[in-house]
Amino acid sequence: MSTPTGTPDTPAPPRKVVRGSRRAVARSAGTDRFWLAVLGLVLLAAGTLAALLGFGVFGAGRAARPLPDPMIVDALRAQQQLWRWVAIAAGVVLVVLGLWWAVRSLRPERRPDLLLEADPDSTLLVTAGAIAEAVADRAAALPGVGRARARMVGTSSTPALRLTVWVTDEADVAEVCRRLETEVVAEARDSLGLAHLPVAVRLELDSVTHAPRVA
Amino acid sequence: MRVLLRTLSPLLGLALAAVGVILVIEVVAAWLRPGTNGLVVPWPSWQAALTGLTWADRPVIVVAICVAVVGLLLLLVALLARRHDVALTAPTPEMTVATSPRVLARLVGRTVRESDDVAAATVSASARKVVVRAEGWPDAGGGFGELTDTVRDRVATLLDELPLARRPRVAVSTRGRKEPR
């Protein structure tokens, strides 16, 4: 039942289109995961080193020294001006990094509108919501599909489509995917005048149905 | 786990920014007005309290271990918050098709439970492995070989029908039921 990828008579799409379809599967959490991992690693390393120091792994003499080490305090006091600027710079970096991280995490995902025509007198713009609604309605009408939800993602220059399809129990999944591509997505691509429209399809089961155990 | 990641990320970002703001405020305040007890946080009294502690003191070790544990938890959240999608074969390279392990498990569970030999079944699935635990009745010889074969065949047929990009391994375990069929 599995379907081969690509057809011999059609040229392969550009690599960025293929990447676009993979990216459209879901909102990326890579940045959040990276910074959380960095923060976790820093805390883990600091905590472990401090605990090892306290247990005397680096020598009993070091473990018995006060927390604000007099040598370090003296070194800071000797170059007070320099360390003030270093502390201010570190504070500014933390503020910028923290605000950037928070804003990036809270910012809603982009839903690009598509500009079809732009004349000096008029412009023809199709909103992301309108495209999504049309595609979802079209996909939901396919046999084997209970309901569908679409969303435009990416940017205006490289738009992509995220399609969540709830298939019914009787659905032929491969056939549903094929018809989504040949009928729904191809139609959207033609209507919008796009050479390529990367699509990420997420399949869900429409509802839990229990087959009768006794005929 | 992704919900936790989405919740933690803005909170930690704001916490970092707050630490940065306090750091800048305190350094500038101490620079302009030396000898004061801190503008937002009483850091001179904190410094005095810390001077009386050594690295070997119990509270220091406890706090260090707590910090390490929190760091480990954050690291685990970051590592485990990846997507666990099951990839399906797409008709064109412009399309990516995926489903969740939950959907695959539901499909397998439904297929297995449709068999008259199976009284109950629990399924867990990932892109790499499908584990089926089926309950049924022993065959004539008292074993569960037939039940295992039935379940395995049904799962294999379903996996043949689904356009999975990678066929998962199937593990079947069976258990007897005391109640009569």
Facing A173 at nearest CB: one of B71, B88, B96: B88
Say what the pTM is: 0.74
Beta-strand pair A145-154/A159-167: antiparallel
What single letter denotes the amino acid at residue A171?
Answer: A
Best mutation target among A22, A31, A43, A185 (most B Cβ atoms within 10 Å) is A43
pLDDT tens-digit series, residues A23-77: 777 788 888 999 999 999 999 999 999 999 999 999 888 888 888 888 888 988 8
Given B20, B97, B116, which is nearest A91 (Cβ)?
B20
DSSP state of A121: S
pLDDT at residue B50 tops 60: yes
pLDDT of B102-152, one tens digit each?
999 998 998 898 888 888 899 999 999 999 998 888 877 777 788 888 899
Question: Are A177 and B90 a contacting pair at CB < 8 A?
Answer: yes
What mean pLDDT is predicted for residues A1-13? Answer: 50
pLDDT in tens, B4-27: 999 999 999 999 999 999 999 999
* pLDDT tens per residue, range B140-167: 777 778 888 889 999 999 999 888 989 9
Query: Is ipTM strictly over 0.90?
Result: no
Residue from the list A1, A53, A105 with its beta carbon closest to the beta carbon of B6: A105
Query: How many other CB atoms are there within 10 angstroms of residue A182's CB atom?
Result: 12
Strands (E), chain B: 86-88, 95-99, 118-125, 129-136, 169-176
Whole-angstrom distance, CA of residue A150 vs CA of residue A137: 9
C-alpha span between B95 and A182 (Å, rounded): 11
Do the chains contact at B31 and A84, CB–CB below 8 Å? yes
What single DSSP character describes residue B54? B
